[in-house]
Amino acid sequence: MHLTQRKSRVTFGGSLPGIGVIYNPRSGRNVRDPSAGVRLARALGDHGVVREAASIDALYRAAEDFRKLDIDLLGISGGDGTSGVTISGFLDVYSGDALPKIAFLRGGTANTIADSLGVRRGRPEGLLARLLRAYLHPGAPLREVRRHVMRVRGDNARRDDGLRIGSAPCGFLFGTGVVCGYLREYYAAGPSSAQVAAKTLLRAIGSSFVRGPMIRRMAEPYRGSVQFDDATVWPDRDYLAVAAGTIEQIGLGFKPFYRADGFEPAFHMLGIYTSPLGFIGQLPRIWSGRAMQPGHTYEAAVQRVHLHPRATPLAYMVDGDLYRCDGALEVTLGPIVRIVLSE
């Protein structure tokens, strides 16, 4: 699809350079609705630019253009994976300079990040139009929340889908073990949707009770140790999952990272070592944002962690995208991003 690229720069009150929107035509909802990008361009009008980014190279080019234009707000139309990849690419291009404020416009089938941060529901062009109205009228409500991202570095890291990655991926969610197994089952179940996600979870619960093949595939553990900068070590063992987040939710309203409130400069880390059935028994507590009962998981709020797997490749997830690496994996606290929420 070719989109009109409006590059006019408008300044309001001498301090508002405009809005730039990254549109991912590969995200689930946008694939099913190929005219979505045109509607975004119409909603934005002459107050910024919409750029299509279907590859990492296109994303870098758009980020370089947006930096030259000195945009004030970065809108992202796509799901969780699009959000993480876009932020990663912009951090690479901005090279330590502060990113523009970010507006999540949804546009994907999984919008866990937007849900967790309180972004209102709606179609991307409607959210963009609402954001633009608030942007053009400084007295209009335009709340801002701040969250760190995490940087994930692994030896010979690559995506499962074969797409090229830039430097170390950044994201709000990280996970190994059953986190990856669940996503593989979910992605293989057909066109992604909240209904498919819920059905996949229910099938997994049923498979756990009968020890069926689905849960054996899904619950392939992370085998190894976890080491922190203060010399604390979670022992070398089988973990149902080692996971971390700088936002509370991981999908379907479940809130395992209840300490990820944005006030502490850390990410919430879990080392879940219970059985699949033991974990299922904790789901009501996880859904309500409470700690699991003793004997199910280790947890910590940290800024850096190293995973040392017994065998490679190590499979892991960053914001819903699946990766592999060939050695130790490092997760570090990344920079703060500012997310705007229009009322």
- In CATH, what number is assigned to the domain containing residue 72? 3.40.50.10330
Q: How many domains does the chain have?
A: 2
Kindly report the CATH number assigned to the domain that includes residue 225: 2.60.200.40
Compute the average pLDDT of residues 248-277: 94
Residue 36 within a domain: yes
Compute the average pLDDT of residues 303-330: 96
Residue 197 sits in the same domain as residue 119: no
- Using the predicted structure, report yes or no on whether residue 156 has a pLDDT greater than 50: yes
Contact criterion met (CB below 8 Å) for 307 and 314: yes
Residue 135 sits in the same domain as residue 235: no
Residue 183 sits in the same domain as residue 251: yes
Residue 219 sits in the same domain as residue 261: yes
- pLDDT band at 192; cut points 50, 70, 90: confident
Which residues in 257-289 are b (16+ Cβ under 10 Å) and which e? Answer: bbbbeeeeebbbbbbbbbebebbbebeebbeee
| Nearest alpha carbon to residue 72 among 150, 17, 111 | 17
Compute the average pLDDT of residues 157-181: 92
Give the end of a domain, one of 84, 113, 140: 140
Residue 170 sits in the same domain as residue 311: yes
Residue 298 sits in the same domain as residue 154: yes
- Using the predicted structure, report yes or no on whether residue 48 has a pLDDT greater than 80: yes
Q: How many degrees, rounded to 5, is the angle at CA 17 between CA 11 and CA 22? A: 140
Residue 98 sits in the same domain as residue 162: no
Predicted local confidence at residue 240, as pLDDT: 98
Predicted local confidence at residue 140, as pLDDT: 66
Residue 171 sits in the same domain as residue 262: yes
- Using the predicted structure, report yes or no on whether residue 187 has a pLDDT greater than 50: yes
Q: Which domain holds residue 121?
A: 19-140
Unique residue bearing structure tokens 């991003």:
337
- pLDDT band at 141; cut points 50, 70, 90: low
- pLDDT band at 15; cut points 50, 70, 90: very low
| Nearest alpha carbon to residue 273 among 201, 177, 174 | 177
Distance of CA 30 to the CA centre of its chain: 17
Mean pLDDT over the full length of the chain: 89
Question: What is d(CA 242, CA 175) in angstroms, rounded to the nearest whole number?
Answer: 6
Largest CA distance in the chain: 65
Predicted local confidence at residue 166, as pLDDT: 79
- pLDDT band at 136; cut points 50, 70, 90: confident
For 72-107, the pLDDT digits (tens) are 999 999 889 899 999 999 999 998 888 999 999 988
Burial of 52 (0-12, 13-18, 19+ CB in 10 A): buried
Residue 91 sits in the same domain as residue 175: no
Residue 240 sits in the same domain as residue 113: no
Residue 88 sits in the same domain as residue 157: no
Residue 339 within a domain: no
Give the end of a domain, one of 140, 167, 194: 140
Most confident of the ranges 121-130, 139-148, 240-249 = 240-249
Predicted local confidence at residue 4, as pLDDT: 32
Entry pTM: 0.91
Give the end of a domain, one of 95, 120, 140: 140
Residue 169 within a domain: yes
Query: Percent of the chain having pLDDT more than 90?
Result: 70
Residue 25 within a domain: yes
Predicted local confidence at residue 219, as pLDDT: 94
